[in-house]
Amino acid sequence: MFDYDVLVIGSGPGGQKAAIAAAKLGRRVAIVDKREMIGGVSINTGTIPSKTLREAVLYLTGMSQRELYGSSYRVKDDITVGDLSARTRHVISREIDVIRNQLSRNHVTLLTGLASFVDPHTVNVRAGGEDTEDRRIQAERIIIATGTRPARPDTVDFDGRTVVDSDQILALEKLPRSMVVVGAGVIGIEYASMFAALGTKVTVVERRDRMLDFCDLEIVEALKYQLRDLAVTFRFRESVVSVERHNGGTLTLLESGKKLPADTVMYSAGRQGLTDILNLPAAGLSADNRGRIKVGSDFRTEVDHIYAVGDVIGFPALAATSMEQGRLAAYAACGEDVNAMRAELMPIGIYTIPEISYVGSTEDELTEQAIPFEVGIARYRELARGAILGDSYGMLKLLVSPDDRRLLGVHVFGTGATELVHIGQTVMGCGGTIDYLVDSVFNYPTLAESYKVAALDAMNKMRAVARFSG
Ligand SMILES: Cc1cc2nc3c(=O)[nH]c(=O)nc-3n(C[C@H](O)[C@H](O)[C@H](O)COP(=O)(O)OP(=O)(O)OC[C@H]3O[C@@H](n4cnc5c(N)ncnc54)[C@H](O)[C@@H]3O)c2cc1C
Ligand SMILES: NC(=O)c1ccc[n+]([C@@H]2O[C@H](COP(=O)([O-])OP(=O)(O)OC[C@H]3O[C@@H](n4cnc5c(N)ncnc54)[C@H](O)[C@@H]3O)[C@@H](O)[C@H]2O)c1
């Protein structure tokens, strides 16, 4: 009766994994997206281009080698937009190819166009361009994975050249000498650090009184120090009222009356769920004012056979979590048993320069909940690998329960942070204690050795307490 058992709307990380998981379970699956957006925001405008850009910036500026070769060390003197975008284009096209290949070898039908509901089981696919013919697709189960787009305030006149959102920043024609970044969320701070590394004079404007408030305070302070060293100016507790475009630049007006001139303004003040074109009421669904769809713990919406995953359901809105949500939603839609996602083990990786990553609780959270903890720290400058790499600021911090020596949190700052965090995540996931880290032999010289150093530090501190408390 249906054209497909499962229809997935959106081919970002959530949609891809949902489609492949359902196909692996033997279902007839189709996935729909615009031709130029295969791979979603993640591949085309978000995660992958920004992370590739970061890698290109690190390489071409010679940033990570300057401790060893001096502060004037560069791989290339006049870095152009072309130098940076060549690498990004290369990686994007490879990734799109991988996705197409994975979908096709799993017999997932790729439908190109924009989907909107006709009724709870029927979706209209409008191809656009020359191919204006609409297609009606009926599916037994539908998984919505339409993601988000940058939020754009009406008071700002985006032109894609001097006043840009985080999608448009990738298409800048030349590197700005100065830039205002509006919003110190993850996107804002990641781009602020890349442009600062390229020599752009960056000013970050943030409404709140601090940034990345979900991260360890000490690590955020360390990041701010590093960014200020690259001439970044922070304006906290300041709101942007409007942005004016002038010949040869922009003027950003703040509520406090300040005026900030800059070549370019980048808005990174949150994102809006892409639900307006879906015609949700036809399916018996609705979205909130930020375009997000409400789901239960198995990603089922208010309509029994329709599921939603990824950024369109809101927090945590990461490629990493979207993929897992997609897989779990497909299992639920196909009647398989699913283990719920373990939120306490969800890692966060922030690709600033230097990078940050953590898993588990922060010191502030534990203190608020009156959970005692001991801190164990390893500093890269005391690790042989840190000296070899020329990273003297990096650190790894373990938060340990003094009662049973379990790991409560792992916070890493510096080279390899987003990779290293997974050692701690595994120990936590397996219910291990720091005894495992103390008693293990780590390769030498490695940054992973920081786990042993930090675990010993925590152990020594706990011993000191035990001496007094008997
Ligand atoms: C600059 C930036 C950097 C980021 N960096 C990271 C990072 O380092 N790590 C990380 O984990 N996450 C990162 N993210 C977040 C990550 O990109 C998102 O969490 C992820 O892409 C969400 O995946 P998704 O499956 O929800 O959908 P998306 O990737 O948003 O894709 C949704 C797709 O649905 C399609 N679509 C929408 N409406 C329709 C419709 N009606 N019909 C058909 N198709 C439709 C869109 O065209 C799009 O292709 C970053 C985001 C940005 C913007
Ligand atoms: N490494 C990663 O995992 C990664 C990287 C990039 C993005 N992302 C995800 O993308 C999503 C969107 O990120 P984002 O940074 O755009 O949004 P966000 O909502 O995290 O941050 C927006 C910030 O802008 C501020 N702001 C809003 N309006 C303002 C104004 N007028 N003036 C001054 N400040 C203002 C807000 O206070 C907020 O701090 C997040 O969910 C994030 O997790 C993840």
Pocket test for ligand 1, best of 146, 266, 358 (most atoms within 8 A of CB): 146
Total number of domains constituting the chain: 3
For residue 133, name the pLDDT band (cuts at 50, 70, 90).
confident
Query: Which residues have any ligand 2 atom within 6 Å of their CB?
Result: 182-188, 190, 205-208, 239-240, 268-271, 317-318, 349-351
Q: Is 184 annotated as a binding residue?
A: yes
216, 361: one domain: no
112, 176: one domain: no
C-beta 322 within 6 A of ligand 1: yes
12, 64: one domain: yes
Which ligand lies nearest the alpha carbon of 275?
1
Please report, rounded to a whole number, the percentage of residues in the chain having pLDDT higher than 70: 99
Of 243, 269, 295, which one is at a domain's C-terminal end? Answer: 269
Q: Is the pLDDT of residue 167 over 80?
A: yes
H or E element in which residue 113 lies = none
12, 144: one domain: yes
Q: Is the pLDDT of residue 130 over 80?
A: no
Domain presence at residue 252: yes
Name the packing angle between helices 81-105 and 47-61 (round to 10°): 140
136, 14: one domain: yes
Q: How far is CA 273 from CA 18, 50, 229, 278, 311, in A?
A: 19, 20, 36, 11, 7
Q: How far is CA 102 from the centre of its chain?
A: 23
Domain presence at residue 157: no
What sign does the dihedral 308-313-319-324 (CA atoms) show? negative
pLDDT per residue over 179-226, tens digit each? Answer: 999 999 999 999 999 999 999 999 999 999 999 999 999 999 999 999
Strand ranges inside 183-238, DSSP E: 201-206, 233-236
Domain presence at residue 119: yes
pTM value? 0.95
The CATH code of the domain that includes 136 is 3.50.50.60
Of the candidates 170, 186, 150, the one whose C-alpha atom is nearest the C-alpha of residue 349 is 186
52, 130: one domain: yes
In which domain, by residue range, is 420 found?
A: 354-469
393, 410: one domain: yes
Q: Is 92 annotated as a binding residue?
A: no
User: How many other CB atoms are found less than 10 A from the CB of residue 253?
Assistant: 16
pLDDT per residue over 396-429, tens digit each? Answer: 999 999 999 999 999 999 999 999 999 999 999 9
